């Protein structure tokens, strides 16, 4: 089980801030109001603590207010509470109040995150986020208990083994969905277009994510699906490409890279995967609060396809690292993007370890495509728009980054229309329909080539690009 928002973590950890450690230690040592009174020489309490921001004294009063509330909870809450839980909840509230992607991880959640980024963890195999008190499925991971049980992107998990998830934090819900391999769990699902809740039962497994799958579509086009940006993403792409070359030999004329419903992952892997298709030039840059903390990453060189035409599939579930790759390939005119607008998560989260083996995930920068575009709240617009189905699916709540509460603004980038119109698209693109025809069959995972309309159109474009390249040579 893996909590999200489609994650975009930096490839390194920072040491926890000393101020944070001192603050937590102060709370654990004794009442904050008394501590501040002894240290700064003025009495503080709830009535005295209300003040507008703007001075150090105001900050101390507000911290004292926090301490007094903590004391009242310890003394007067209807049931005894553990100091550790109250403080951790307060820290998490402080972080989640900033934006949808900053959060606190206790020691268990931090350990789980470190395991997940390695691509192996215990649970159900499902990417989730929190929405309106429920747990929303971003995407089930291929060939996992959740995927086999029929969990779908957009499902709302309302109960676990008959107990509501309302009142649980995202991490608490995720911990309940974890467990020993072979142990049983039932998810109660609310799904679009289905009147009654669905109960989906499954057994937990040790999830070893096969982040890349590949196959030949016909004799001439290789298909690669990347489901997550774990530590194995780059190496798996290279291996998949070599497998396709071995299978097809000189008949291989184009490649389709499928990033649909890929929620993201590690930043360094996004850079490496982009470099697998780009010989040189910028992949992505980040701009932080302090200019000195801004960074730029360039392609490492070595197009593993040998310059074959490339089509990239994206949709509303393509987020974060997926958008970095799609944006870089689009800006460099290395690939044609086909599908629907991506999620729009253009922020970077840094994981900072804290005392007690816990950590905080803090939004520290926005990222920008090579042309300087910020996709925060906007997403990547495909070159060839093609919908998955004829009818637009109605959603219970937020569908993309811009729909979330406390979302970061889009700022500092070049205008979205700064890129000149593409002149390298094959003529057949003008004939590609933007949605399936009447009577097109529903998607069947067992027959993707026959029922995946977006993939069918991607193959048409890929073969046209191959023909165009051969004619140019």
Residue 67 contacts residue 36 (beta carbons within 8 Å):
yes
Marked catalytic residue, from 9, 136, 190, 345 = 345
What secondary structure does DSSP assign to 426-449, as a single string? -GGGGG--SSPPTTPPPP-TT-HH
Burial group, residue 451, by CB count within 10 angstroms (0-12, 13-18, 19+): middle
CA 115 to each of CA 124, 206, 431: distance values in angstroms, whole numbers, following the listed order: 15, 12, 46
In a 3-state reduction of DSSP, which class is residue 459? helix
Find the length of the chain. Answer: 473
* 430 catalytically annotated: no
What secondary structure does DSSP assign to 207-264, as a single string? EE---EEEEEETTTEEEEEE--BSTTHHHHHHHHHHHHHHHHGGG--EEEEE-TT---
Which residues have C-beta within 8 Å of that of residue 43, sequence separation ≥ 6?
A: 37
Marked catalytic residue, from 10, 103, 320, 321 = 320
Furthest CA-CA distance within the chain:
82
Residue 266 contacts residue 325 (beta carbons within 8 Å):
no
Q: What is the DSSP letter of 44?
A: -
In a 3-state reduction of DSSP, which class is residue 149? helix
The helix (run of H) or strand (run of E) holding residue 156 is strand 156-160
What secondary structure does DSSP assign to 292-306, as a single string? GG-EEEE--S--TTS
The helix (run of H) or strand (run of E) holding residue 355 is none
For residues 122 and 119, give the distance between their C-alpha atoms in angstroms, rounded to a whole number.
Answer: 10
* 331 catalytically annotated: yes
Burial group, residue 247, by CB count within 10 angstroms (0-12, 13-18, 19+): middle
- Tally Cβ neighbours within 10 Å of residue 81: 13
Residue with tokens 């490339």: 310
Marked catalytic residue, from 99, 268, 331, 383 = 331
Q: Which ranges in 261-350 belong to alpha helices (H)?
A: 267-275, 321-331
Is the backbone of residue 264 left (phi > 0), alpha (psi -120 to 50) or beta? left
Q: What is the DSSP letter of 308?
A: -
Which residues have C-beta within 8 Å of that of residue 402, sequence separation ≥ 6?
A: 344, 377, 378
Q: Six-digit token pair at 446?
A: 């067992």
Q: Where in the sequence numbering do the catalytic residues fall?
A: 320, 331, 345
């Amino acid at each position: 089980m893996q909590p999200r928002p489609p994650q975009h973590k930096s490839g390194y950890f920072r040491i926890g801030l000393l101020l944070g450690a001192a603050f937590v230690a102060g709370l654990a040592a004794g009442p904050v109001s008394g501590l501040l009174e002894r240290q700064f020489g003025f009495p503080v309490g709830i009535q005295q603590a209300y003040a507008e921001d703007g001075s150090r004294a105001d900050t101390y009063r507000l911290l004292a207010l926090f301490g007094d509330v903590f004391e009242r909870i310890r003394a007067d809450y209807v049931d005894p509470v553990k100091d550790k839980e109250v403080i951790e909840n307060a820290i998490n509230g402080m972080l989640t109040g900033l934006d949808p992607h900053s959060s606190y991880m206790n020691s268990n959640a931090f350990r789980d995150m470190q395991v997940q980024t390695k691509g192996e963890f215990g649970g159900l195999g499902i990417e989730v986020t929190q929405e309106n008190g429920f747990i929303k499925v971003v995407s089930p991971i291929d060939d996992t208990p959740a995927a086999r049980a029929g969990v779908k992107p957009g499902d709302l998990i309302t109960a676990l083994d008959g107990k509501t998830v309302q009142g649980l934090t995202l991490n608490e819900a995720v911990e309940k969905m974890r467990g020993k391999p072979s142990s049983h769990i039932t998810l109660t699902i609310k799904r679009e277009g289905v009147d009654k809740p669905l109960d989906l039962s499954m057994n937990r497994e040790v999830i070893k994510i096969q982040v890349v799958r590949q196959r030949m579509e016909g004799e001439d086009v290789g298909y690669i699906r990347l489901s997550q940006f774990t530590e194995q993403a780059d190496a798996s792409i290279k291996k998949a490409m070599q497998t396709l070359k071995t299978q097809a030999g000189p008949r291989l004329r184009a490649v389709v890279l499928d990033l649909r419903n890929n929620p993201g992952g590690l930043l360094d892997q996004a850079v490496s995967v982009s470099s697998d298709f780009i010989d040189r030039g910028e992949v992505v840059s980040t701009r932080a609060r302090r200019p000195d903390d801004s960074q730029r990453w360039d392609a490492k060189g070595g197009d593993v396809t040998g310059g074959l035409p490339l089509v990239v599939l994206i949709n509303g579930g393509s987020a974060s690292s997926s958008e970095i790759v799609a944006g870089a390939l689009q800006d460099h005119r290395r690939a044609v993007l086909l599908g629907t607008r991506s999620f729009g998560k253009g922020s970077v989260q840094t994981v900072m370890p804290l005392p007690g083996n816990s950590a905080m995930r803090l939004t520290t920068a926005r990222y920008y495509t090579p042309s300087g575009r910020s996709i925060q709240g906007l997403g990547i617009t495909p070159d060839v728009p093609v919908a998955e189905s004829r009818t637009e699916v109605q959603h219970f709540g937020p569908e993309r980054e811009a729909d979330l509460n406390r979302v970061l603004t889009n700022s500092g980038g070049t205008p979205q229309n700064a890129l000149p119109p593409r002149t390298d698209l094959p003529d057949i693109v003008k004939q590609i329909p933007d949605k399936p025809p009447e009577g097109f069959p529903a998607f069947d995972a067992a027959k993707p080539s026959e029922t995946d309309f977006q993939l069918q159109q991607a193959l048409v474009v890929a073969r046209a690009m191959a023909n165009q390249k051969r004619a140019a040579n």
